[in-house]
Structure 1
């Protein structure tokens, strides 16, 4: 995870709260399994921890055989990233994509692969490798008889610009348009990392903590779509939907591939705020957003563990729902 740009929403000088939606469906939320730590439990223990907490979906950031072996026959649905370091090879050589599928997917027939994420928060010149790598992997999966596994990419929220009000959202860069057109053609969702925390930490003067953590507050109407927004999370997700509409691909689903709140290490990072945000997030996404009410929003929380070897801001080490000894970082219910 990298710091997620929120410049386009920092103009959101509003004090908002929780959007009350009655859930119409129940679905377990996913949790991202990061491994940048020197004190984490074994993969088999981690899979058991997922199962014992009723967590039925996982995201990992690169293929790792011990994790894939532990997942075999667990029925836990998996988002697996390819790893940003091999995007160029996958983009330039279809045989590299075929080898990836053979070695990391076909070799683990007991794993419930749901999506393959071709890059996480890719920036700079590497963005041009995303689409050809997706195309090559999609072709390799089809050739292997695994066309049900969908290929996507996981983007930073700041691929969206002018996201306030949400109805104004559109893609900042042209490279995103052929990507979402490809997703539309294959029926795959767009994976997006959505962090109200970073917006709040960058601009606490204008973005109220209650608004960022699903607590009650002021309601505001988006004149562009006539919808009422009372949570930053909803506004951010609906701006992605608006960008997809602007790109001519309104039927592409959004899957929130990361969202979370740190429990220590920076402004607004506390156990109380993390517990409040994450518990409300679990409850909230069952009911969708104002633009997609009643439609369960598939969401992956970041992250399973506090990771003591993460680099960057100190908060990066404190997003875990669990400590490395498998004890909860704070009380949370996944259902």
Structure 2
């Protein structure tokens, strides 16, 4: 999935942004929204931040260090994931001074931000870039942040669910095409305490396997257990996909690494089962699922996730559905009713 979050404020303590905040709350269920800008007529960054605040959306992911967005976010206390663009990974991987400059320009130069994670690329390989650059770029970014006194900001990378294989979830491993780079990344994350950022889309699993997957399982609307995996029972596909990641991490010797869902959503038109009703059902149920704070069968407790995406983006593609993942239209009207 090409890619460019929304608990109420009471879900966790609010820290006043008096500088570069890098606190990492633990055991917090948190849901934010990804802010992509591949569309015409989108609101200004300051208007977007106001939309997040008025809708009580407390987390944002941006897909490159957009100076306008970073300026608008100052003092907002919105928890932030900043992506390093895939095309920038090579220079950060090969030159520690480039990583230092990236941190100076995109982190230190912007005061009053609540940066939680930096993602060294998004679905690298599938969406451009060389997977061999991910780990050295992460290492150089960590070194640059530590040197700047910002070691509380965690560095990871955002990966597609296609990097995993295996069913049921307990049989999850990194796929043969991804294991060579994902296992070292997972093991490195175990040393830094950062989570793996995972893009999790029951929609695509359903569309690709309609004979095996009931749409209610994908939409969180199954009335009871659908998949039994040893002593674990799965009532929705989202939990199964997340737990497949946890099993893959365990198989790579990195069972201590957490998973943050860096994207999840459902298109409202443009493809199979892409309707406003299905999109509203999935995203509202996802928000409810995160707020309840039960976690997954394999990892009970709080979970953190980011809905994709804030706006319908008409310049995305090539598939038509890519344009229709937005919770809102460019004119700021809701694409369908949603409550955070």
TM-score by length of 2: 0.89
Any residues of structure 2 matched to 1:219-298 within 5 Å, and which? 219-223=225-229, 225-285=230-290, 286-293=293-300, 295-298=301-304
* 2:195 aligned residue: 189
Q: CA deviation at 1:245?
A: 1.1
Q: CA deviation at 1:178?
A: 1.1
Any residues of structure 2 matched to 1:287-326 within 5 Å, and which? 287-293=294-300, 295-326=301-332
CA distance in 2, matches of 1:296, 1:282: 13
Superposed CA deviations along residues 22-73 of structure 1, whole A, max 9, x for unmatched, are x9x8744110000001110000000000000000100000011100000000
Q: Is the 8 A contact 1:191 1:257 kept in 2?
A: yes
* 2:162 aligned residue: 158
Q: Is the 8 A contact 1:28 1:55 kept in 2?
A: no
* 1:82 aligned residue: 84
Q: Is the 8 A contact 1:166 1:222 kept in 2?
A: no
Match for residue 101 of structure 1 among 96, 100, 103: 103
Match for residue 43 of structure 2 among 24, 30, 41: 41
* 2:116 aligned residue: 114
Q: CA deviation at 1:205?
A: 2.2
- CA RMSD after TM alignment: 1.6
CA distance in 1, matches of 2:29, 2:296: 15
Q: Is the 8 A contact 2:117 2:153 kept in 1?
A: yes
* 1:186–1:28 Cα change, 3 Å: closer
CA distance in 1, matches of 2:226, 2:79: 37
Partner SS state of residue 235, structure 1: helix
Structure 1, unmatched stretches of 5+, are 4-22
CA distance in 1, matches of 2:217, 2:56: 28
Structure 2, unmatched stretches of 5+, are 4-10, 12-26
* 1:41–1:278 Cα change, 3 Å: same
Q: Is the 8 A contact 1:190 1:252 kept in 2?
A: yes
Higher relative contact order (CA 8 A, sep 6+): 1
* 1:6 aligned residue: none
Q: CA deviation at 1:220?
A: 4.1
TM-score by length of 1: 0.90
Q: CA deviation at 1:139?
A: 0.1
Partner SS state of residue 130, structure 2: helix
CA distance in 2, matches of 1:128, 1:178: 11
Q: Is the 8 A contact 1:256 1:300 kept in 2?
A: yes
Superposed CA deviations along residues 166-197 of structure 1, whole A, max 9, x for unmatched, are 00001122211110111111110000000000
Q: Is the 8 A contact 2:30 2:305 kept in 1?
A: no
Q: CA deviation at 1:222?
A: 3.7
Count of paired positions: 311
Partner SS state of residue 287, structure 1: coil
CA distance in 1, matches of 2:310, 2:226: 34
Any residues of structure 2 matched to 1:60-71 within 5 Å, and which? 60-71=62-73
Partner SS state of residue 48, structure 1: helix
Partner SS state of residue 142, structure 1: helix
CA distance in 2, matches of 1:64, 1:329: 24
